[in-house]
Structure 1
Amino acid sequence: MSRIQCPRCLRPHSHCLCPLIPSIDSRTRVLLLQHPSEVNHALNTARLAALGLNNAELIVGEVFEDLPALLNQSGYRARLLFPADDAQPLQAYTETEEPLLLVVPDGTWRKARKMLHLNPLLAGLPRVTLAEGGVSRYRLRKAPGPGALSTVEAIVQALQILEAPVSFEPLLKPFEALIEGQIAAMGEETFQRNHGPR
């Protein structure tokens, strides 16, 4: 028998995160393109980001038929937050008149690359990148490399750069509560054995 879920945050009612989810305005519009395999993931951080940002939209899929309309939103310049040799640092956009439409693929690196491959319009967007050396608070997962962040962490870092001095840290509150809940459920001993310092 499955537990009753909150229809908003998709967590079991007993672990609902909605009271911790902020409601933050941003000049930057965030478009999250989520791979279907992430929807039911216990740590669905893209959903948390979309719920906490008033100027964000979350779309689930692998191929996005309405991508032209999504990317050509009046008053915004679309940029893909994804690494590439020619990706520009987000700091280059802090003084621009026209706000960004920050397009963020959500999935494993392999699945995100597949989404780009299946959506040439997406792959063709100019890319932007975060400053190197970001440290993830995602203590339950081994990062694939230095600077690897969860989706919500990457969005917070991007918005902190683009919209300083506005703070987007409140977006991380439900994320941190989610991690603490997972650690509590597995027990400190199991957490230390599997995720503690080596």
Structure 2
Amino acid sequence: MSRPRCERCKRAQDHCLCPLIPRLDSRTRVVLLQHPSETAHALNTARLAALGLVNAQLWVGEVFAQLPELLATPGYRPVLLFPGDEAQALTAYASPDEQPLLLIVPDGTWRKARKLLYLNPLLAALPRVTLAQVTASRYRLRKAPAEGALATIEAVVQALNALEQPQCFDALLRPFDALIEGQIRAMGRDTFERNHGC
């Protein structure tokens, strides 16, 4: 018999993260496009990001038929948070009148994120943005595949912190930090130090 799950955060009821998830407002609209294989991932940080931001949505799939309507959303300038030679570093909005971004964030392994772009040519055609400075990942349980690699929620927080300063979105990381600490406790501190310690 499976353990009862929270309908909102999808964690087991006895590990529900909802009390740690904030409700933060942002000028930037964030849409997270999650590859279906990520929904069962133990962390599922894209879900946590969408739950913690008032102006965010999480879409799960490989092909997104509703993209044309999304990209035509009045009042927003659509961009893709994804590295590339042409990617522009995110900087703070110059004024309160500047058109806010519709920040589209693929969620999946690099291979799966590239597949989302391949299957959705409208995504691949968007202007790309990236983080000017990347702070180290808090995801201490796995070795990053590349320098500067972040969990999806970390990338969203760093992007919003860059765009909307002085507003700070670090509170969005509270449930993520709790998940990491919970996994470390479950494996035992000695095992963590042996396998992941510096």
Same fold (TM > 0.5):
yes
1: distance between equivalents of 2:125 and 2:191?
A: 44
Equivalent residue, structure 1, for 2:87: 87
1: distance between equivalents of 2:183 and 2:159?
A: 26
1:52-75, CA deviations, whole angstroms, 9 ceiling, x for partnerless residues?
000000000001111111121110
Equivalent residue, structure 2, for 1:33: 33
- Number of residue pairs matched by the alignment: 196
Q: Secondary structure at the match of 1:170?
A: helix
1:161-184, CA deviations, whole angstroms, 9 ceiling, x for partnerless residues?
100000101000000001000100
Residues 134 and 158 in structure 2, CA contact (< 8 A), matched pair in contact too:
no
Once the two structures are superposed, the pairs formed by residues 130-141 of structure 1 within 5 Å of their partners are 130-141=131-142
1: distance between equivalents of 2:100 and 2:197?
A: 41
2: distance between equivalents of 1:156 and 1:132?
A: 12
- TM-score, length of structure 1 as denominator length: 0.97
Name the amino acid aligned to 2:151.
Answer: S
Equivalent residue, structure 1, for 2:185: 184
Q: Secondary structure at the match of 1:104?
A: strand
Q: CA deviation at 1:133?
A: 4.0
1: distance between equivalents of 2:138 and 2:101?
A: 26
Equivalent residue, structure 2, for 1:48: 48
Give the RMSD, CA atoms, in angstroms: 1.0
1: distance between equivalents of 2:51 and 2:75?
A: 22
- TM-score, length of structure 2 as denominator length: 0.97
Equivalent residue, structure 2, for 1:128: 129
1:54-102, CA deviations, whole angstroms, 9 ceiling, x for partnerless residues?
00000000011111111211100000000000100001x6216100000
Equivalent residue, structure 2, for 1:102: 103
1: distance between equivalents of 2:165 and 2:133?
A: 18
Equivalent residue, structure 2, for 1:154: 155
The percentage of aligned residue pairs carrying the same residue is 70
Which consecutive residues of structure 1, in runs of 5 or more, have no partner in the other structure?
A: none
Name the amino acid aligned to 1:113.
Answer: R
Residues 134 and 148 in structure 1, CA contact (< 8 A), matched pair in contact too:
no
Equivalent residue, structure 2, for 1:173: 174
1: distance between equivalents of 2:30 and 2:178?
A: 23
Equivalent residue, structure 2, for 1:143: 144
Which consecutive residues of structure 2, in runs of 5 or more, have no partner in the other structure?
A: none
Q: Secondary structure at the match of 2:192?
A: helix
Off by >4 Å, runs of 4+ in structure 1: none
Q: CA deviation at 1:132?
A: 3.7
